[in-house]
């Protein structure tokens, strides 16, 4: 298992971590298999989405705020219920195929850490399984 950290800069921050994940695959010398990308946080998730146009991330953030507003009378005392709900929607892990030592992603796809309760420093755990 490999772990790295990602500093986030805003309360809701979506950070492209594709190159970090690909570097871990390259360092492992695994040619075929899978990698699990997992974040051990209840207010932070991982997703695969478009990383060619930064407006996609902006639109995702905007839509999350519409669907699950920051302050909407939640009962959770810490004041971050929206963060927990958004993380439940995104999920805490992604599994990606490795072929020829590379992540198998679509042309426009990237891997993102989604922090819904930042700014913080978040951990990302990677587990590579070879075939």
List, for residues 92-108, the tens digit of each pLDDT value.
999 999 999 999 999 99
At 131 the pLDDT is: 85
| % of the chain exceeding 90 in pLDDT | 93
At 77 the pLDDT is: 80
The CA-based dihedral angle spanning residues 39, 95, 62, 123, taken in that order and rounded to the nearest 10 degrees: 20
Q: Is 49 in contact with 110 (CB distance < 8 Å)?
A: yes
At 68 the pLDDT is: 96
Structural domains in the chain, CATH included, are: 2-130 (2.60.120.460)
- Judged by DSSP in three states, 125 sits in strand
List, for residues 102-131, the tens digit of each pLDDT value.
999 999 999 999 999 999 999 999 999 998
């Amino acid at each position: 298992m490999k772990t790295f950290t990602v500093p986030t800069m805003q309360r809701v921050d979506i950070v492209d971590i594709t190159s970090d994940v690909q570097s871990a695959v390259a360092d492992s010398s695994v040619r075929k298999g899978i990698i699990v990308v997992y974040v051990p946080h209840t207010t932070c998730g991982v997703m695969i989405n478009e990383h060619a146009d930064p407006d996609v991330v902006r639109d995702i953030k905007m839509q999350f705020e519409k669907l699950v507003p920051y302050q909407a009378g939640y009962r959770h005392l810490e004041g971050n219920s929206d963060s927990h709900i958004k993380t439940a929607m995104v999920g805490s892990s992604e599994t990606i195929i490795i072929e020829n030592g590379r992540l198998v992603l679509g042309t426009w796809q990237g891997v993102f850490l989604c922090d819904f309760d930042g700014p913080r420093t978040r951990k990302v755990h990677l587990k590579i399984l070879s075939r």
